[in-house]
Structure 1
């Protein structure tokens, strides 16, 4: 019986190789390993899967279907094809990271003998200065929800809380009721690897209390035990796309001409704190950055603003 099982598995894998699906199967096993062993986030898993599936599509287009037939040259040519398509340096760097991790996983399993992506070099990425809103633009944006309907009470609370805490959109829509501490005015952000508490102020607290009293009960009326703090109009967890559309809508209503995304409020939160004297280490902790060099860009923004003020105001410039 054991021999029969082995024969069936060999036949299945041969069939997968023959029709070009074996690499896809290995990618799914790799993603599962990332999830179970390394505790990767859903966003990371989606990105790695997308990068690796694009690689497989390219390899298949070149007649390469077996993982054992993938060599260094094929990997280099795939990356060259991304350059030829004018893909962003960040996209190419992420693809290279995905490939290196995938092939290293296959080496560890004994499926291939060496990591054929190990020598790939990521392009240099210039740190782009993020777009931020002025304090006046933020005030105008946060005034847009009318607070007359359950949905707009929710929208007001979400926008206020995001600007008050600098949460990532995935953290905001993933908040549970148990993550909210109205006594201490804190939000607890919990991931598989880290946990941090971020304070919020009175304006956010007032918006949350109004939403909890007159908004959320209506939205979750058809759901028995929803534990998400913010829900869509069906009482279920709100999506990233839903919040993206929400902030675009209110940005247009506020007459803000800049490109505005959920991350714009996170950048604005950090930049305004640093401009007003917050130390960079505390801002790093509130944002949940693992490396202070990532937070340093907000200090650079503050310094640039000082230079702009000097140039405009000093009579001898």
Structure 2
């Protein structure tokens, strides 16, 4: 495929200069590969120096014709913007080919959240006499108590748990660190699991990680997704849930309880308050539903 040399350099740039996670690097690499395949098909062996805004626009038109949804298009554009910046830094193109490319408008989706009772049912769905149940319970308790992304949970370090302070240090997007309070309840289940963990298999390369699989290695996103889906089924929850659902619940329940939005932004590790504002919309929806359900004139 054309541009393979540039792709290798781009991956190194994302890792060393940008400090992105392996997951983000792989996603950006796929985005550029999509563009490269399109350019090769439509324009042949195009030198990277000849890439311009018209090629990008043709590529976006192709995505639209293939019914790629606006959210996916926007994500692909993020990868291409990073690639364009890399090419400029390396002196391969004279100007930013993405400068005048606008992202498609995306309707803001209000994420599905669980009620407090549903969260309790989810957390209590584990049979703690079963293998790995204490680990799984601890994971969900930490996700909900701290509002972590699944990647943050996977990479949580043993020495980043400050029990006396009731805080944990979280490595967020772009390797940005933040301190997040952790409840005594979550610490209780975490400590039960950590006591069990000492007696299990621990591979040297994963000894710093909190949550391990039965082979002593770190967990994957897919494993955690599967654990939560099974817990939801046991709890009788019919909503479509994922590890991110507990992060949404964390933020939503804080806002419903009157928490300051700036504080929630800090806890979630959002770079922009605009990202956190989605939870005010959820809160408004909650208030509307409350009125429809409980106002005497709305009852049939």
TM-score normalized by the length of structure 1: 0.87
Rounded to whole Å, the distance in 1 between the matches of 2:44 and 2:70 is 26
Paired residues, what number?
296
> Does 2:194 align with 1:212?
yes
> Does 2:184 align with 1:202?
yes
Instruction: Please list every run of 5 or more consecutive structure 2 residues that lacks an aligned counterpart in the other structure.
Output: none
Residues 53-202 of structure 1 mapped to structure 2, 5 A cutoff: 53-65=33-45, 66-191=47-172, 193-202=175-184
User: For structure 1, which segment, 293-302 or 187-196, has the greater mean C-alpha deviation from structure 2 after superposition?
Assistant: 187-196
Relative to structure 1, is the Cα distance of residues 225 and 292 closer, same or farther in structure 2, using a 3 angstrom cutoff?
closer
Deviation at 1:169, TM superposition (A): 0.3
In 2, are the aligned partners of 1:68 and 1:112 still within 8 Å (CA)? yes
Structure with the bigger RCO (C-alpha within 8 Å, sep 6+) is: 2
For the residue of structure 2 that corresponds to 1:197, the secondary structure is strand
Deviation at 1:186, TM superposition (A): 1.5
Deviation at 1:59, TM superposition (A): 1.5
Relative to structure 1, is the Cα distance of residues 193 and 155 closer, same or farther in structure 2, using a 3 angstrom cutoff?
closer
For the residue of structure 2 that corresponds to 1:283, the secondary structure is helix
Indicate the RMSD between aligned Cα atoms, in angstroms: 2.0
In 1, are the aligned partners of 2:112 and 2:245 still within 8 Å (CA)? yes
Rounded to whole Å, the distance in 1 between the matches of 2:187 and 2:57 is 53
Rounded to whole Å, the distance in 2 between the matches of 1:193 and 1:184 is 22
Find the structure with the greater CA-based Rg. Answer: 1
Segments of 4+ moved more than 4 angstroms: 221-225
Deviation at 1:109, TM superposition (A): 2.2
Rounded to whole Å, the distance in 1 between the matches of 2:276 and 2:214 is 35
Deviation at 1:127, TM superposition (A): 1.2
Instruction: Please list every run of 5 or more consecutive structure 1 residues that lacks an aligned counterpart in the other structure.
Output: 1-19
Rounded to whole Å, the distance in 2 between the matches of 1:162 and 1:127 is 24
Deviation at 1:243, TM superposition (A): 0.7
Rounded to whole Å, the distance in 2 between the matches of 1:85 and 1:264 is 30
In 1, are the aligned partners of 2:123 and 2:141 still within 8 Å (CA)? yes
TM-score normalized by the length of structure 2: 0.91
Rounded to whole Å, the distance in 1 between the matches of 2:202 and 2:76 is 44
In 1, are the aligned partners of 2:155 and 2:171 still within 8 Å (CA)? no
